[in-house]
Amino acid sequence: MTLHAPQFDLARILRDTSVQHVEYHSSLSSTSTVAAELLGPLLGRAPAVVLADEQTAGRGRKGNVWWSSGGALTFSLVLNANEVPMAAERRPLIALAAGLAVRTVLADIAPEFAFFVKWPNDVLTGAQKICGILVEQQTANDQQGLIIGIGINVNNSLREAPAEVSQRATSLFDLCGQSFELTAVLIRVLQQLDLRITQFVNQPRLALSEVNRVSLLSGRTVTVLSGDATISGHCIGIDEDGQLVLQTEQGLIRCSTGIV
Ligand code: BTN
């Protein structure tokens, strides 16, 4: 039997963040799928993290596949929704809080690059995606859970990816030509997530102004596929409910979800 040494220092994660439990697997289907399957017990130990060195069936928004290879940071944070006092219509802000958290950490690690939050749930540098975020709400034993799935291309190289992925994505390794300690990156992201979610709950205006400062779409002409509708307009910014606000020929239109 080959023993697999964890790529992560789990004791340090528990010591340096508010996380109470880490469910670590060297390989699993998807950290968010496993988080949903184990939601009842994980909510009993929340905040909890499901963490994997490798996912075999990573999921993105709208049923998309999330491609990643060894060296990527893939995890899902499980929170008790009662501990995030935010009206249901404002929950899209959680994905933006996560985007802001990841952007802050990436900008600290690689200050020579400009990173942006792309509504509703990505982090990009230039036109290339470096992080995807998937926020899901699920119930177990009458308790509501929030599952915040985050995939950051850290030490993997997109050169190994299928062409359709490598053309529009990058990693810290591809940008900087060096590897980073995954435990340290994860701890910084978890700490920032804590801060940003708290900021959105307690100081929503400040948090929103930070998101709008680093929003990729603001000031641009964009086309959003929202349900069956295709909406084109000049992006004015993101509003207090996390909606993208577009100035169109028909007036102001607010998109609560969509693909840009
Ligand atoms: C997207 O870009 O549409 C969202 C991608 C989210 C990927 C992360 S990786 C960790 C977690 N587990 C998953 O299967 N998906 C999320």
Ligand 1: centre distance to CA 11 (Å): 25
Preceding amide of 111 cis, omega within 30: no
Taking a C-beta distance cutoff of 8 angstroms, is the pair 134, 140 a contact?
no
Positive or negative CA dihedral for 38, 41, 42, 43?
positive
pLDDT at 2 over 60: no
Strands (DSSP E) along the chain, which ranges? Answer: 21-28, 48-55, 73-80, 115-118, 122-125, 128-140, 143-152, 221-226, 229-238, 244-248, 251-255
Across the chain, mean pLDDT equals: 94
- pLDDT tens for each residue of 190-242: 999 999 999 999 999 999 999 999 999 999 999 999 888 899 999 999 999 99
Ligand 1: centre distance to CA 239 (Å): 24
Ligand 1: centre distance to CA 132 (Å): 6
| 102-116: burial string, b at 16+ Cβ within 10 Å, e else | bbbbbbebbeeeebb
Q: What is residue 85's predicted lDDT score, i.e. its pLDDT?
A: 87
Query: Which atom of ligand 1 is closest in space to residue 59's alpha carbon?
Result: 14
% of residues, the chain, pLDDT over 90? 88
Q: What is residue 4's predicted lDDT score, i.e. its pLDDT?
A: 56
Query: Which atom of ligand 1 is closest in space to residue 58's alpha carbon?
Result: 14
Ligand 1: centre distance to CA 250 (Å): 35
pLDDT at 5 over 90: no
Give the tokens for residue 157: 């190289």
Which residues have any ligand 1 atom within 6 Å of their CB? 30-32, 55, 58-61, 64, 66, 74-76, 122, 132-134, 149-151
Q: Is the pTM of this model over 0.85?
A: yes
3-state SS record for 47-79: CEEEEEEEECCCECHHHCECCCCCCCEEEEEEE
- pLDDT tens for each residue of 42-92: 999 999 999 999 999 999 998 899 998 899 999 999 999 999 988 888 888
Q: Is 175 left (phi over 0), alpha (psi -120 to 50) or beta?
A: alpha
